[in-house]
């Protein structure tokens, strides 16, 4: 029997991004304090978004996602 070719996450039906997100979540869950708290703080993402209507930028806002 030959070894399967290609990425195993593709064989499982998921993208590389989904695979890395699952792996990161699992790693954060097994860490001990104080490392776990530091890793949880790095998980928060903030970005700025602005709607465009008729080619003109609207009021921008900040979104903080955990």
* Residue 19 within a domain: yes
* Residue 12 within a domain: yes
* Residue 46 within a domain: yes
**DSSP state letter for 60:** -
The pLDDT value recorded for residue 5 is: 66
The pLDDT value recorded for residue 63 is: 80
The pLDDT value recorded for residue 2 is: 54
Q: Domain of residue 37: give its range.
A: 8-65
* Residue 1 within a domain: no
Structure confidence by residue, pLDDT tens digits, 16-59: 999 998 998 899 889 999 888 888 888 778 888 888 889 888 88
Give the integer Cα–Cα distance in Å for 39 and 16. Answer: 21
Give the integer Cα–Cα distance in Å for 66 and 64. Answer: 7
The pLDDT value recorded for residue 25 is: 87
| Stretch (H or E) spanning 57 | strand 56-57
């Amino acid at each position: 029997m030959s070894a399967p070719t290609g990425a195993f996450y593709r064989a499982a039906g998921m993208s590389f991004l989904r695979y890395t997100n699952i792996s990161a979540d699992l790693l954060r869950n097994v860490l001990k304090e104080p490392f776990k708290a530091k890793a949880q703080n790095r998980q928060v993402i903030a970005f700025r978004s602005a709607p465009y209507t008729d080619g003109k930028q609207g009021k921008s806002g900040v979104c903080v996602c955990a």
